[in-house]
Amino acid sequence: MAYGSRRGRIRVDPASFESIYREHHPSVWRLLRCMGVPPAMVDDATQECFLVVYRRIDEVDRSRSLRPWIYAIARRIAWRSMRTTTTQARLLERVVDDARVVRPDETAEHRELLEQIAAVLDAMPFEQREVFVLTEFEDMSAPEIAALVGAPLPTVYSRLRLARARFQRLQPSAREAS
């Protein structure tokens, strides 16, 4: 994984890092977007996550799964992004969204559904959203999430229950059906 350089510093083997990047990039991008990072900033946040991975890979126990460690990094980046989002970032997001080219396979209904899901997620408290996204979109178990976020297992189950109830209440189709 790592090998020495002329200056005695440890460097990451590019081929090994590339395989880590390829394996985890899609889920990190999706996690960051679902955790509230604005669409115009998701690519940058994803790259920031992998820069941290690259710089700190020699600190992690490679006999264990890298996924929880990488998700913890992405989680901190999402949290920081939510705290520091400025008016300029929101304006940039609108400009990028307005200029976005729609793929032929992306129908208006599909886009509307994605926007509704994003709105429901945006309405959730961060702690509930985090557990909901990791469970529903990243297929993580409650014990894995508890270890990742540093919360007791019953708290994770409670947050998930509250998030699912909120999701059901806020879904437009659920409101129309009632």
CATH number for the segment(s) 1-100 = 1.10.1740.10
Q: Quickly state the pLDDT bin for 177 (edges 50, 70, 90).
A: very low
CATH number for the segment(s) 107-178 = 1.10.10.10
3-state secondary structure of 97: helix
Give the separation between CA 130 and CA 138, rounded to whole angstroms. Answer: 11
Question: What is the DSSP-derived secondary structure letter of residue 122?
Answer: H
Spell out the domain ranges in the chain.
1-100, 107-178
- What are the pLDDT digits (tens) for 62-94? 788 899 999 999 999 988 887 666 444 455 565
